[in-house]
Amino acid sequence: MSTPYPLALQVNGAEHRLEAALGDTLLTVLRDALALTGAKRGCNQGVCGACTVLADGEPVRACLTLAHECAGREIVTIEGAAGRAQALQEAFVETGAVQCGFCSPGMILTAAAMLERTPRPSADEVRAGLSGNLCRCSGYRKIVDAVLRAAETGAP
């Protein structure tokens, strides 16, 4: 499991050629090999959602995803936020939805994928859509409001 094998990863629009063991998770490779530390290791068990990134537009738990599974997929992290994700970042700031910020990258990318499917969600749809991402600082209210605000603004 610890023998390194070559891996080509598409991350934030750029191709990275690196070596990763078969057991290395996408989160480990993003953080340690590519220095993209926006995805956070909150639980490493796929529960908290702080490591969420997009793979071909779908939110995935980077801590549960093996790096080699991602060959040929387009990975987007918060560092590559554009379009909806960027509008969400701005809405998070304007709404006061960022407290410690540890959950924010995962929240924003999860919300970006949700808005792609449901561009004008209700508050309850947003609550359901974000229920796999834990936040311990807020009461979620401002996060939900930020997503609703970004939905109103639409993608730039």
Partner 1 sequence: MLHGALLGSPHAHARIKSYDVSAARAAPGVHCVLTGEDFGDHRMGAFIKDEHAIAKGKVRYVGEPVAAVAAETEAQARAAARLVEVEYEELPAVLTPEEALAPGAALVHAELASYFKVFEAVCGGNVCSRTELAEGDVEQGFRESDLVVEGRYRTQPQAHVSLEPCGALAEVDAAGRVTLWSANQSVFRVQANVCESLGLPMSRLRCLTPRVGAGFGNKMEAHVQPIVVKLALATGRPVKLVLSREEDFEIVRARHPFDLRVRTGVKRDGTFVAREVEVLLDGGAYADDSPGVLGYSLLMARGPYRIPHARCRGTLVYTNKLRFGAFRGFGNPQVSFATETQIDEIAAQLGIDPVEIRRKNALGADDRWFGGQALASNGLRECIDVAERESGWPARGAIRAAPGKRRAMGFACTAHIGGLLGTGAIVRMLEDGTVVLNTGAVDIGQGSDTVLTQIVAEALRLPLEQVSVASPDTDGSPYNWGTTASRVTYTTGRAVLAAAREVERQAKAHAAEMLECAEADLELLPGGVVGVKGVPGKTLPFVAISARAHWRKGGPIVGTHTWVFDQPTVDPKRAVAVGLPFPQIGVYSFGALAVEVEVDETTGKVAVLRAWTVADVGRAINRAAVEGQLEGAFAQGLGFALAEELVFDGPRLVNPTLMDYKVPTSLEVPYALHAHIVEHAEPDGPFGAKGVGEIGINVVAAAIANAVAAATGARLRELPLTAERVLGGLLQREAEAG
Instruction: Say whether 27 sits in a helix, a strand or coil.
Output: helix
What part of residues 87-146 is at the interface with partner 1 (CB under 8 A)?
Answer: 95-96, 99-103, 123-124, 126-128, 130-144
Answer for the pair 137, 100: CB distance below 8 angstroms, yes or no: yes
The distance in angstroms from the start CA to the end CA of the chain is 43
Among 9, 50, 87, 151, interactor with partner 1 by CB under 8 A = 50
State the DSSP string of 104-117: HHHHHHHHHHHHHH
Q: Is 15 in the site for partner 1 (CB under 8 A)?
A: no
**What is the smallest separation between the CB atom of 107 and partner 1, expressed in angstroms?**
9
Note the residues at the interface with partner 1 (CB under 8 A): 2, 40-45, 47-48, 50, 95-96, 99-103, 123-124, 126-128, 130-144
